[in-house]
Amino acid sequence: MTMNAGKKIVLLYPRNHFEKVYHPWTWAPLPILAASAPLFAEGFDVRLIDANVEPAWQQRLVDECRDSLMLGISCMTGPQIHFALEAARAVRGAGLKLPIIWGGYHPSILPEQTSQNQYVDAVVRGQGEVTLLEIANLLDQGEDFTGADGITFSRGGETVNNPGRPVADINSFPRLPYEKLDNPRQYLNNMHVGSRVINYVSSQGCPARCQFCAEPLVYGRAWKAYTPERVLSDLEWLESFLGVNGIMYFDSTYFVKEKRAREISRGMIERGMKFGWAANARAPQLGKFADDTFDLLKRSGLWAFLVGAESGSQSQLTSMQKDIEPEDILEAARVASKHGIKISYSFIVGFPGETAAEIEETWDVMEQVSKIVGEYNSQLHFYAPTPGNALYDKAVGLGLKGPESLEEWAQFTTVTGRLPWMDKSFQNRMKQREFYMVYGYPSEWVRRRAARSSLRRVYVSVASAAGKTRCRLHYWGLPVDWWLLRGMREGTSED
């Protein structure tokens, strides 16, 4: 223990949804877990509060803050801002004056605007470990924390941007202290990848430059990754501490270096580790991998490549600087299928300025992929504007009213999107089309659900007949079958 022993720090991961049930899985709050690691190592008494799993989070937050050096709040754009502000208000409402430090993607992208809010004492820009530790040490020594590098704060109406600091090698940080979470076992998920699956992150940043994404803005296209040895020892620890048998990599992009991916997989095989896992890949990477790389990945338990395809339209891909071609998406599907590894794509519709013809190209690629892999295994999302990038600016140019303060961001929903060009009828048409794809190219998941009861079996066969006919004829008008099946779906809870 160092001289900091006993000095308390509270870190909050705010709720990330308004809905009662948002996501079927419960994921460990890695942003505060990562930021806390060096603090624990230095002997601080850190309290990690995950408001997504703790119903009485607000009361606990206020209680824990009473004798703490500071409160750190993490947030990304979206509902988390609403709950982050609610948390800060509760703390100030209880008369507590401890500094409230904000970090994570949203404050990092808009540090000046964020720091103008009365509930923000400082914003930590980008990677949090080193800066947060410096702030904690300054506070612990009774010094002014505003001398720390890498922060932005407001003083007397003026915004002060302290010098940034270089992104540190993440290998120099201690292992993420999962054991310090309240009841770490609640973060084990039973899913396709394994029965005891936890989230883990092996790298930070992304070398690509997509114009709708936060990574280039926050990490400047740098990609810092754990060494294979570090990943293997972390996985071994997760296996022995929690009995983990599956990993969902939360890296923005995992397969940047083929050699690293191979070494991790080889190490897993040599050490006899029995893990299922899935991770994000960029489509063009897969087409370049050696055949035996796929073999290694598969033997080490790779269940699926998760690929952000975004669009099937070359003009859209070009304008968002995705630096891929539709052919890369198809080729990735071919190589993954050839090697018996699943591939799951994410596509987006409703980009600012996107034409009906471009959306049709996306559906076309989604359908070609489904034919290659033998099932519809994509996810369709609606474009959700997030700040600081060229696509957001384009959206504003097309009539999006962009929030101008943190309070306004708290009211702005990224999920349903209040975009002038994306009304309910557009969204319904897209959902209807996806419905036909889901049942026209039924996935293993759909088939498994059908096997659960005879009612579901009947439902799936009727929906599949409708989906297959629609996909064959490419006729989407008069969706009477969809209306009926949607209604019934609720009845059979076929969701």
Separation CA 134–CA 137 (nearest Å): 5
Q: Does 380 bind ligand B12 (CB under 6 A)?
A: no
Q: Binding to ligand B12 by residue 372, rule CB under 6 A?
A: no
Separation between Cα atoms, residue 455 and residue 235, nearest integer Å: 42
70 binds, among ligand B12, ligand SF4, none (CB under 5 to 8 A by kind): none
CA dihedral sign of residues 431, 199, 107, 406: positive
Distance from C-alpha of 461 to C-alpha of 14, rounded to nearest angstrom = 42
Residue 137 touching ligand B12 (CB under 6 A): no
Tell me phi and psi for residue 84, to 5 degrees: -65, -40
Rounded CA-CA distance 109/217 in Å is 7
Site for ligand SF4 in 270-299 (CB under 6 A): 282
Which of ligand SF4, ligand B12, none sits in contact with 344, Cβ below 5 to 8 A by type? none
208 binds ligand SF4 (CB under 6 A): yes
DSSP string computed for 209-277: --TT-SHHHHHTT-EEE--HHHHHHHHHHHHHHH---EEEE--S-S-S-HHHHHHHHHHHHHTT---EE
Please give the Cα distance from 40 to 474 (Å, whole number).
58
Residues 194-233, interacting with ligand B12 (CB under 6 A): 201, 213-215
Report the C-alpha gap between 4 and 70 in whole angstroms.
14
Q: Interacting stretch for ligand B12, rule CB under 6 A, among 22-30, 418-426, 441-449, 469-477?
A: 22-30
Q: Which is nearer to ligand B12, 267 or 350 (CB)?
A: 350
253 binds, among ligand SF4, ligand B12, none (CB under 5 to 8 A by kind): ligand SF4
Looking at the DSSP bridge assignments, the partners of residue 382 are 349
Residue of 134, 215, 361, 434 interacting with ligand SF4 (CB under 6 A): 215
| 51 part of the interface to ligand B12, by CB under 6 A | no
Are the C-beta atoms of residues 192 and 248 closer than 8 Å to each other?
A: no
Residue 108 CB, nearest approach to ligand B12 (Å): 6
316 lies in the site for ligand SF4, by CB under 6 A: no
Closer Cβ to ligand SF4, 253 or 443, answer by number: 253
The CA distance from 145 to 138, in Å, is 5
d(CA 378, CA 373): 11
| DSSP assigned state of 188 | -
According to CB under 6 A, which one of 415, 458, 465, 484 is a site residue for ligand B12?
415
Q: Which of 9, 35, 49, 273 binds ligand B12 (CB under 6 A)?
A: 35
Tokens 């349903």, located at residue:
416
Residues 245-264 that bind ligand SF4 (CB under 6 A): 252-253
One residue of 4, 113, 127, 202 binding ligand B12 per CB under 6 A: 127
Tell me the residue nearest to ligand B12 as measured from the CB.
103
Residues that bind ligand SF4 (CB under 6 A): 206, 208, 210, 213, 215-216, 252-253, 282, 308
**Contacting residues toward ligand B12, per CB under 6 A:** 11, 16-17, 23, 27, 29-32, 34-35, 52, 72-74, 76-80, 101, 103-106, 109, 124, 127-129, 132, 201, 213-215, 250-252, 384, 386, 414-415
